[in-house]
Structure 1
Amino acid sequence: MTPRRPRAAAATLALALLAAHAPPARAADIVLHETGSTLLYPLFERWIPAYAAAHPGVAMTAAATGSGAGIEQALAGRVQIGASDAYMSDDQAASHPGVLNIPLAISALTVNYNLPGLGGTLRLDGPTLAGIYDGTVRMWDAPEIAAQNAGLHLPHQPIIPLRRADASGDTFVFTQFLDFSTKRWEDEVGYGTSVAWPAVDGARAADGNAGVLHLLAATPYAVAYLGISFHDAIDKAGLGTAPLKNQDGQYLLPTAATIAAAADGLDRRTPPDERLSLVYAPGAQSYPLINYEYAVVAAHQPDAATAAAVRQFLLWAIAVDGGNAPSFLDAVRFIALPDFIRAMSERQIAAIR
C-alpha cells in the first residue's frame, strides 16, 4: 500500500508544480524605449496607455524622431524598438544580421496641396510628381498637370515642393514611388530615407510630419507628402489631398478599401525577413502609396526579462484583439496585417531572446 503524503507536503508539492508552470514574474522596473517614425507615433500614443493598463509591470516611452533615427537607434542598441516606415537597406541588413524588421500594420502616404481657389480636387501621377520634385514641372498650370485636371482653375503660379528635412520613412516610400514612376528619377536620384534632392527654386523642408504639415498650411501654392495618420489634421487645416494614378490608370484616394486592395497578395510576395516595398502594387483598386510599418528590433536583447517584455508587447501590437484592433487602427487610417503576414511577424518575434 502506498503511504499517503501529509497534507502539508502535498500542498507544498502542488504549489511547486504551479510555480514551475506559471509564467515568469514581470519585473516592475522594465522600461521599453521606442523612437522613430512620426507617421507611426500617433499609433504608439494610443497603444502605450492601453498596454500599460493591462501590463503594469512594463513601462514604455515613445518619441517621434523620424524613421532614419529609429533604425539608427535600434542598430546602435540605444532603444528596444526602432519604429520605421522603411525597412532596413540591403547594406544595413547585411551589416546587422541579428536585427529584425517586423511589420506591425499597413499604412499609407498622402500627397497634399495648398492651392487657393482651385475649385475641385487635384489629380496627380508619379511622373508629374517626379517632375515637380526635380524641377522640370514648375508651374501649377503646366501641361502635365492640366492634362489630368480638365475643368479646374489651375493658377499660373510657381509650384513650391515641400519635403522632409530629417531622415524619413515617408521620404523612403515617396521617393520609391518617384523611382518606380520614371527612369530619370531612378537614374539620377533613387530612393531612401534621405536622398540628394534635385535643386528646385523655392523648395523647402521641415522635420517630421507635423513640421511639414505646418509648413504646407502656411505656404500657398505648395505641395507635400504626409503620413495618413495626420489625415484629420490635414482636413482641419483645409488642405487638399490628391487622388493618385495607379498602375491601372485609376486615380484613387487612400481608404481602407484601396489600401487593402493594394495589400492583397502580399502573402505571395513577402520574403521571410519581411523587407518588401508595397509601393505601386498592381490592381485596379490599389492605392499606390502604401507601406508596412516596421518595428526594427535586435533579436538578442540584453537580458531574458527585456526580451520577454519586447516579445509580449510586439505580439500584443499585431494581435487582432490587441494593437491591430479597429479601435486603434481606424483612428490613424491604418489597416491590420493580413493573417499570413501576421504569422510571419509572429515567427520573427519568437526569435527575440
Structure 2
Amino acid sequence: MKNKDAIVFLRWVALCSVVVFAFQMASANAATATGAGSSAAAPIYRTWAKSYLRATGSIVEYDSIGSSAGMKKIQQNAVGFGATDVYPREEDLINGDLVVFPIAITGISPIINLPRIQNGQLRLTGEVLSRIFMGEISHWNASEIAELNPDIVLPDLAIKVVVRADGSGTTYNFADYLAKTSQKWKSTYGVKTTIQWPDGFGSFKGSDGVSKAVRDTVGAIGYVDYGYVAEYGLTAIQMKNSDGFYIKPSLSSFKSALKNSEWSAKGKFNNTLTSKPGKDAWPITMGTFVVFPRMAKNAEQTAAALQFILWSFFNGDTLVQENNFVRLPDRVQASAFRIMTSIRDQSGMPLNMELMSLPAVSKGE
C-alpha cells in the first residue's frame, strides 16, 4: 500500500529526472506533433491534444489506425510517436532502436446487443466467452449461457460475433485473457494482434467500427475498450475473475487488477494485466503504450511529439480519468519520465532541451 510519503518521494524523483533534461515547451510556431496507432487509446490522445492546443497553441494530429499499423508507422519514421496496446517484442525494440513506456490503464469490455438485457446484467465466464468467439456456442439461450444466468430469460437468437479486422492491441489482450482461461483457445488461436476468426463473423476496423456494429445489430457480441461503452451507450456484461467473483468493468475494477500486478509492485510494465488476482479485479485489464525512436532520425518531429507527451504527463491526470482510463502508478510514471529524457538526436545530444520552469504535476489519486 502506497503511503503519502512514498508518493511524494516518487513524484520528486520523477520531477528531478525531468528538470535535468527538460523539454522546451512547444510554441504556436512549433512543429505539429504526429502520432498513430491504438484505437482504444484514441479518446485520451484526442482529449490531450485539444487541451494542449489551448495551452500551447501547438497542433497534435493522431491517426487511430490500430496498434499494429501504429508500430509500422513509427518503425518507418512516418510519425512522431506510435501508440500500441501491446508491449512490443524485445527484438522489435532492438532492431528498430525504439523505446516504449505506458501512458494509462484501461480495460476491455465484452459488449452485447440483446433485447431487455440491461447493462451489467448478463454473466459469462472466460471459458464460455472463448467458446462463443470460437464459434462453438451459436445461440443466446444455449445451456452454457443459461446456467450462468438463471434469473434471465434469454432470447432464442443467433449469436452474431463482431471482431476486429485490423491488427489490434485490444484483440491481443482479449486473446491473452482467453488463452489463460481456455486451453483450446490457447492451442487453436493463441495470442496475436490479428486472429484468423471462424467464418461468418463480422469483421470491422477499429474500436469505432466494432462499437457501431454491435450497437446496430440485435444479437451481437463484440469487445472494445471500456471508454467506448459509455461513448456509444453499449451494454457491457459481468465476467468471472480469477478469484471466482463476477465483476462489472469499471475504473475501480481496473485499479484493483493494477494494484495486484508487477506494474504497481515493481514498476515493471512489460507483462499484460489480464487475469490478475483480487476480489474486485477486472480480468481483462490492459495498459496502453507510446513508442519513440531511441535516436531520432527527424529531430523536429520527435521533439514535437515528446513535448506533447511530456505536457500530457504533467497536466493530464484529470483528463485520463474523464476518458475512463486509470492513471499510471507513481513508480511507472517515474520510469516513463526517465525513458523520455533518454531520447537523443543522431549526434547523441538531447532533443531541443533546456532547463526551464515546468508546469505543476497534476494531483494523482
Instruction: State TM-score, norm by structure 1.
Output: 0.84
Picking from 298, 301, 305, the partner of 2:293 is 298
2:337 alignment partner in structure 1:
346
Change (3 A) 1:60 1:129: same
- Work out the CA distance in 2 between the residues paired with 1:119 and 1:297: 42
2:264 maps to 1:267: yes
2:10 alignment partner in structure 1:
none
2:227 maps to 1:229: yes
2:218 maps to 1:217: no
Picking from 320, 329, 335, the partner of 2:320 is 329
Cα deviation for residue 308 of structure 1 reads: 3.8
Indicate if the aligned counterparts of 1:80 and 1:297 stay in contact, CA closer than 8 A. Answer: yes
SS at match of 1:62: strand
Letter in 1 for 2:56: H
Indicate if the aligned counterparts of 2:267 and 2:331 stay in contact, CA closer than 8 A. Answer: no
Indicate if the aligned counterparts of 1:228 and 1:332 stay in contact, CA closer than 8 A. Answer: no
Cα deviation for residue 126 of structure 1 reads: 1.0
Change (3 A) 1:90 1:305: closer
Picking from 259, 273, 276, the partner of 2:271 is 276
SS at match of 1:223: strand
Change (3 A) 1:341 1:196: same
**Greater alpha carbon shift after TM alignment, 44-53 vs 160-169:** 44-53
1:129 alignment partner in structure 2:
129
Indicate if the aligned counterparts of 1:247 and 1:283 stay in contact, CA closer than 8 A. Answer: yes
Letter in 2 for 1:150: P
1:51 alignment partner in structure 2:
52
1:317 alignment partner in structure 2:
312
Cα deviation for residue 89 of structure 1 reads: 2.9
Question: How far does the alpha carbon of each residue in 1:56-107 deviate from its partner, in whole angstroms, 9 at most, with x for none?
Answer: 3x432111111111111111111111111122134423432x2112101111
Choose between structure 1 and 2 for higher RCO, CA contacts under 8 A separated by at least 6 residues. Answer: 2
Change (3 A) 1:152 1:72: same
Question: How far does the alpha carbon of each residue in 1:303-327 deviate from its partner, in whole angstroms, 9 at most, with x for none?
Answer: 55544433332222223xx12x22x
Alignment of 1:109-124 (within 5 A): 109-118=108-117, 121-124=121-124
Say which one has the larger Rg: 1
Indicate if the aligned counterparts of 2:23 and 2:307 stay in contact, CA closer than 8 A. Answer: no
SS at match of 1:163: strand
- Work out the CA distance in 1 between the residues paired with 2:194 and 2:219: 24
Cα deviation for residue 124 of structure 1 reads: 1.1
Aligned residue-pair number: 320
SS at match of 1:167: coil
Letter in 2 for 1:215: A
SS at match of 1:30: coil
**Greater alpha carbon shift after TM alignment, 299-308 vs 278-287:** 299-308
Picking from 253, 275, 279, the partner of 2:248 is 253
Change (3 A) 1:248 1:59: same
2:77 alignment partner in structure 1:
77
Indicate if the aligned counterparts of 2:25 and 2:307 stay in contact, CA closer than 8 A. Answer: no
Indicate if the aligned counterparts of 1:106 and 1:336 stay in contact, CA closer than 8 A. Answer: yes
Question: How far does the alpha carbon of each residue in 1:207-262 deviate from its partner, in whole angstroms, 9 at most, with x for none?
Answer: 11111111112211110001112122332xxx321011110111111222111111
2:188 alignment partner in structure 1:
188
- Work out the CA distance in 2 between the residues paired with 1:63 and 1:222: 27
- Work out the CA distance in 2 between the residues paired with 1:106 and 1:148: 29
Question: How far does the alpha carbon of each residue in 1:116-169 deviate from its partner, in whole angstroms, 9 at most, with x for none?
Answer: 134681111111111001122222122221121111011222211110111111
Letter in 2 for 1:64: S
Change (3 A) 1:125 1:347: same
- Work out the CA distance in 2 between the residues paired with 1:268 and 1:223: 35
Indicate if the aligned counterparts of 1:311 and 1:352 stay in contact, CA closer than 8 A. Answer: no
Change (3 A) 1:110 1:119: closer
- Which structure 1 residue ranges, 5 or more long, are not aligned? 1-21
Cα deviation for residue 110 of structure 1 reads: 0.9
- Work out the CA distance in 2 between the residues paired with 1:205 and 1:173: 17
Change (3 A) 1:205 1:303: closer
SS at match of 1:230: helix
SS at match of 2:286: strand
Indicate if the aligned counterparts of 1:106 and 1:335 stay in contact, CA closer than 8 A. Answer: yes
Identity of aligned residues (%): 27
Cα deviation for residue 331 of structure 1 reads: 2.5
1:164 alignment partner in structure 2:
164
- Which structure 2 residue ranges, 5 or more long, are not aligned? 1-21, 345-365
SS at match of 2:336: helix
